[in-house]
Structure 1
Amino acid sequence: MSGRLSSDLSARFAAAMPAGVTGAAIRAVYPRVEPELARLASYAPRGGTAVDVGAWYGPWTRSLRRLADRVVAVEPAAELAAHLTAAYPRVRVVRAAASDSVGTATLHLPEGGPGVGTSSVEAGDGRTVTVPRVTVDSLDLTDVRFVKVDVEGHEVPALRGAEDTIRRDRPLLLVEVEDRIQPVGPVLELLAGWGYRPYVMPRDRWLPLAEFDLVAHQREAVGRVRQSFARRVVAPWPRYVNMVLFRPEADR
């Protein structure tokens, strides 16, 4: 079966399923797609507050609940925010786009729905809606120990909006850094200036980013992105690495 046909069938199947069923299925299998998630308990701090920026159906929220005392999920798509609220009543769900200022933003929604695509304030081909825009700093969080940021090319503004929180609490940061969406340099330079060093997990352990050519890898492996989610779950290797762990200098 061709990748395009497989992707189309996945889209139709996901669109036909109730959000609760789709969400539960995605959360259950997502660790197969991202070993960074599968091994979360081996490197994420316990206790304190964990923040999931760009929560989607909550695969990271689900695992962070087991480690942190408090979890905050930031998700601008109304359907997904409502789903997360119902699935995790003890999680604080913020229905907004995380950025570098407070106000409103235009959110591009995926054509096939959230089960087969991701929303973005940067660009998109689907319909648009106006959503609230917040900064992580405006959420008045305390004792933040872990922050995951996956916002489809809006990572730098989202991080700038969390600068006070990051400088104060020095949390571990896991950030999507993807060359096909945006240049990787600005994220790396911003966090280096804040005293963070980057690491990646090509297989089962963290490597300093200096030892791994992320851009070359992503350009070579970009075909994986075009494959259906179901195919990547069944055959998770070879990987497409796009999550970078940033540790404060003192934690090297």
Structure 2
Amino acid sequence: MINLLKSLAPKSLKKFIKREILKTSQVNKPRYNTSLVKDEFTLDCTIAYNKYGGYCTPFAAQQESVVQEILKGNVYEPETIQYIIDHCGNGDVVQAGAYFGDFLPGIAKNISTKANVWTFEPSAEYFRCAEITIRINNLKNVHLFQVGLGEKKSEVQLQIETEDGRLLGGASRIIDSENGKFVPIMIEMLDSMIPEDRNISILQFDLEGFEIPALKGAINTIKRCKPILILEILSHNDILENEWFKNNILSLGYKISGKVHNNTIVTIQHNN
């Protein structure tokens, strides 16, 4: 054997050794081959990257536009993220709902070193994905809470699947219905979650029609900090015609000042 090894060229020697090892070594093969069995404990996800960092994207929402963009290496709502970066100054940012953290790397890596991001996601699946997104990017300035935002502390039902079995993904919503699949979630007031010594410069809500209740629970923070409000409401009239919004937000001097992506921007108008 030794003489044989000496006679082999280096490349041939490597091949010979590999072949002999495979002959004598025990190779453990999987006993079973199977696809992932879905259950409530197993997180099914895909890790993807864009210029801001890495993301844990939920398999349940793989067909949604936000996930598709990130899987392609793109940024979803780049104009909204850039607007927040450009206008947050030295203050903190409130971003809800977190979903799987699609906004978090872009915001958290580009705000003041003294600023924090406060973000909220009631869905257990998406909360877990957002946690992983935070870990992938080592975001030390992000505070993530597994709650929804509303006007009072309560427990409600979140619809995650329609009656015909269609997964709602990022469109999961709080509605009064008996049809479909629901999971219990906790609701908290933003005012009870943000320390009073923190200055909030931007408050961004993407809450699937639950923006007004969330604003009600944030009214003390809004009065104290006068943050820019970025609300995913498709029509300006949705909020302009709301009596509570007129009496409690517009009365503070807020005006609708523009739109970015599908978000309405509401800012304090200072008199010159």
> Does the TM-score normalized on the shorter chain lie above 0.5?
yes
Higher gyration radius (CA): 2
Q: CA RMSD in A?
A: 3.1
2:159 counterpart (82, 87, 108):
108
Shift of 1:17: 6.7
The one-letter amino acid paired with 1:72 is W
**Unaligned 5+ runs, structure 2:** 1-42, 49-55, 58-66
Distance apart, 1:48 and its partner CA: 2.7
Greater strand content: 2
C-alpha contact (below 8 Å) 2:100/2:133 kept by paired residues: no
- The normalised TM-score by structure 2 is 0.62
Alpha carbons of structure 1 residues 178 and 184: separation in structure 2 relative to 1, 3 Å: farther
Which has more helix, going by share of residues? 1
Q: 2:111 maps to what in 1?
A: 67
C-alpha distance in 2, partners of 1:105/1:150?
18
Which residue does the alignment assign to 2:74?
29
Q: Which runs of 5+ in 1 are unaligned?
A: 1-15, 203-240
Which residue of the partner structure matches residue 171 of structure 2?
A: 118
Quick check: 124-133 or 100-109, which moved more?
A: 124-133
**1:77 partnered with 2:123:** yes
Identity of aligned residues (%): 19
Partner of 1:55: 98
- Give the alignment's TM-score, normalised by structure 1: 0.66
Structure having greater relative contact order (Cα 8 Å, sep ≥ 6): 1
Residue by residue over 1:15-51, the C-alpha shift from the partner in whole angstroms, topping out at 9 and shown as x without a partner, is x9725446376555344x4633344333x22333211
Q: SS in structure 1 opposite 2:74?
A: helix
1:177 offset after TM fit, Å?
Answer: 1.4
1:154 to 204, 210, 216: 210
Aligned to 1:199: 257
Distance 2:154 2:98 in 1: 20
Length, aligned pairs only:
196
Cα deviation for residue 86 of structure 1 reads: 1.9
Alignment-derived partner of residue 36 in structure 2: none
Task: Provide closer, same or farther for how the CA distance between residues 38 and 251 of structure 1 changes in structure 2, counting only shifts above 3 A.
Answer: farther
Provide the C-alpha distance between the structure 1 equivalents of 2:267 and 2:176, rounded to a whole number of angstroms: 30
Cα distance in 1, alignment partners of residues 94 and 239 from structure 2: 24
Partner of 2:146: 95
Q: Provide the residue aligned with 1:138 in structure 2.
A: 192
